[in-house]
Amino acid sequence: MQDMLVQIGNYGFPMVVAIYLLVRVEKKLDALTGAINRLEQVLAVCLKVPGFVESSGGGEAVFPGYAETGHAAAPAP
């Protein structure tokens, strides 16, 4: 029983700290992803990218023929 308490003392705290930090980082990554998507849309509108279609409802921008590839940015000319 005492060995089990020692193991919890040795490994329990670092595990709790790691889980806490992972949850915090995940929220920040989600916010960063949203900001990058909005920046992409604003830049496409400001630079008048040919083939850019704004979606209605605040979704992602659509580049015809490019959305199927899963990439978020416009293809290089």
pLDDT at 68 (0 to 100): 47
Average pLDDT per block of 10 residues along the chain, 77 residues long? 83 90 92 93 82 57 49 49
Domain extent, residue 21, equals 2-69
Q: Cα–Cα distance between 53 and 55 in angstroms, integer?
A: 6
Considering the entire predicted model, what is its pTM? 0.46
Assigned domain for 76 exists? no
**Number of domains forming the structure of the chain:** 1
In a domain, 38, yes or no: yes
Asked if residue 77 belongs to a domain, the reply is no
- Tell me, yes or no, whether 75 lies in a domain: no
* 60 φ, ψ (degrees, to nearest 5): -85, 155
pLDDT for the residue numbered 18: 92
Do 62 and 55 touch, CB atoms closer than 8 A? yes
Query: Domain for residue 17, yes or no?
Result: yes
